[in-house]
A and B are shown apart, each in its own frame.
Chain A
Amino acid sequence: CTEHYAEKYYNRADVQKAMHANVTGIPYKWTACSDVLIKNWKDSESSMLPIYKELMAAGLRIWVFSGDTDSVVPVTATRFSLSHLNLTVKTRWYPWYLDNQVGGWSEVYNGLTFATVRGAGHEVPLFQPKRAFILFRSFLAGKELPKS
């Protein structure tokens, strides 16, 4: 229910003033998700894989992670999609660790790192904040997730 807290907080006049927000008097309440936008969304590319290939070739660091208790965009969806890239494995599938527990699993390809986060839902940092933090720190450092 955490998004209900945000709906309360960001609709307060003192909060909007402190954030220099809503200066034009938007004619609707602030809300976490806009029904109008999602119901009327027009162009949506069917696949991101061509862009992935192009940006991998350009040398960008690309990490894809997946909380493994999400059923909306689940880990198997991402694995099927990435498998379609036919990437070369650099570091074979291994469990990554945090606090002597398996934080998830990871496989490193030429140009892309994939990692799962064990026990996390769609919003990984909400459900597994420490594991998400280690994932982020490893990404910024360009280092593989810890093997022990």
Chain B
Amino acid sequence: TKEQELDRISALPGQPTVTFSQFSGYITVNEEHGRALFYWFIEATSIPYKKPLVLWLNGGPGCSSVAYGASEEIGPFRIDRTGSSLYLNKYSWNTEANILFLESPAGVGFSYTNTSSDLIDSGDKRTAEDALVFLIRWFSRFPQYKYRDFYIAGESYAGHYVPQLAKKIHDYYKEDSHPIINLKGFIVGNAVTDNYHDGIGTVTFWWSHSMISDTTYRSILNNCNFKDDNKTSKECDDSVNYAINHEFGYIDQYSIYTPACI
């Protein structure tokens, strides 16, 4: 489509020569509020018309799939430390599939809203609704991907985004035996899944990996019930804050055996 060609990236500054195509741009998901989501689409390195389509979502909430997924995890390019050039990622996932990175919801990265109040009342529900609208309109812009095997992948708080969007798609096409968005499955990593069990499991990991003392472990278990969403007691906060501020030390909590970023 013409719109598709307008989104084609001829080359990124400092990019090595590549054979695959890439596109990026905006898709409006709510005209009234002026919400538009930014995507970066990177086709497979070979026979893209035969490869599946994979949507990648990072979490946060509020974090960018361009910043993390595309630029330091599964995308074809890595950014050098000066931010001036790109080099190739030997284990890029676009050798196996066509990868679509989405900055979601509005307010993340280049995705924007013309209604500033949207930035302070985002949540799971509207994020999933907007993501479904995005996909329906994206497939109109890229009709060659209609009916293609489609998967969703993500990590962290996208442990919410991914199944919630998968459910929206499943419900939307429930009566359709030949759905345009042909969702086959999803894969999530280090995914926020269930507040109560995640909470217990997290403290157990801290203790079993000798990041906290027995005293602190017992204090957290006694004071934090992990059940009441968004409501924690002062005693619970004090116990967890003591662990983080006085027992963890200066580590990268996202990777406890590698150097922390100074």
Report A's interface with B, CB cutoff 8 A: 1-10, 12, 14-16, 18-24, 26, 30-38, 40-49, 51-52, 54-55, 58, 60-67, 69-84, 117, 119-127, 129-130, 132-133, 135-137, 139-140
Contact = CB atoms under 8 A, between A and B. Distances in A.
B107 A62 contact: no
B197 A81 contact: yes
A78 B195 contact: no
B179 interface: no
Given A54-B170, A73-B192, A77-B199, 10 more contacts: A5-B80, A51-B163, A51-B167, A54-B167, A60-B185, A61-B184, A81-B197, A84-B197, A125-B93, A140-B96
Contacts of A44: 61, 123-124, 160, 229-230
B194 interface: yes
Contacts of A77: 193, 197-202, 205
A3 B72 contact: yes
Contact of B255 (A19, A43, A69, A133): A69
A48 B202 contact: no
Contact of B107 (A18, A34, A55, A67): A34
Contact of B121 (A4, A40, A67): A40
A48 to B, nearest CB: 5
Interface of B: 6-7, 9-13, 24-26, 36, 38, 40, 52, 54, 60-64, 66-68, 71-74, 79-84, 86, 89-91, 93, 96-97, 105, 107-110, 112, 114, 119-125, 151, 153, 155-156, 159-160, 163-164, 166-167, 170, 183-202, 204-206, 208-209, 211, 229-230, 251-258, 261-262
Contact of B151 (A16, A67, A140): A140
Nearest to B68: A123
Given A32-B63, A48-B160, A122-B254, A21 B38 contact: yes
B158 to A, nearest CB: 11
